[in-house]
Amino acid sequence: MAVVSASSPVARVHAASTEYLQVDVSGPDAGDLTAGDLRVAFDLPGGALSASAVWHDVERYTPPASAAVAGVALLLVGPGSDVTLSAGLHRVYVDVASDPERPVQLAGRVYVED
């Protein structure tokens, strides 16, 4: 499992690997969220998040045990999954449905190796 966190360096996965990408989610409402409240998108290598970004529903979400800990969203990536990333460095964004807000936050980065 590769971990994407704003506080960690770059998560690394191999292009041939299928594994869960763990995206840490923090904030005042993180404990009230469910998997249905979260989506994840990736920018193009070296690019920026575009208006036509493809958003993927997370498969599982574990709320934080306390305010000092991030919640954990999981998304399966790689061959055979719904999300296959090209080689290179990608920024990972999380979209949170938190009525009335819908913030999009940079969650971290993942490097996909050839």
Domain segments of the chain as ranges: 2-113
Lookup: tokens for 54: 């493809």
For 20: left if phi > 0, alpha if psi spans -120 to 50, otherwise beta; the answer is: beta
The region of weakest confidence among 28-32, 49-53, 75-79 is 28-32
Q: How confident is the model at residue 38 (pLDDT cuts 50, 70, 90)?
A: very high
Euclidean distance between CA atoms 99 and 8, whole angstroms: 29
* pLDDT tens digits, one per residue of 104-114: 888 889 999 99
- pLDDT category at 6 given cuts 50, 70, 90 is low
For domain 2-113, the CATH architecture is Sandwich (2.60)
Specify whether the CB–CB gap between 38 and 96 falls below 8 A: yes
pLDDT value at 13 more than 70 = yes
How many other C-beta atoms can be found within 10 angstroms of the C-beta atom of residue 51?
A: 4
Q: For the chain, what is the mean pLDDT?
A: 87
Q: How many CB atoms lie within 10 A of CB 66?
A: 6
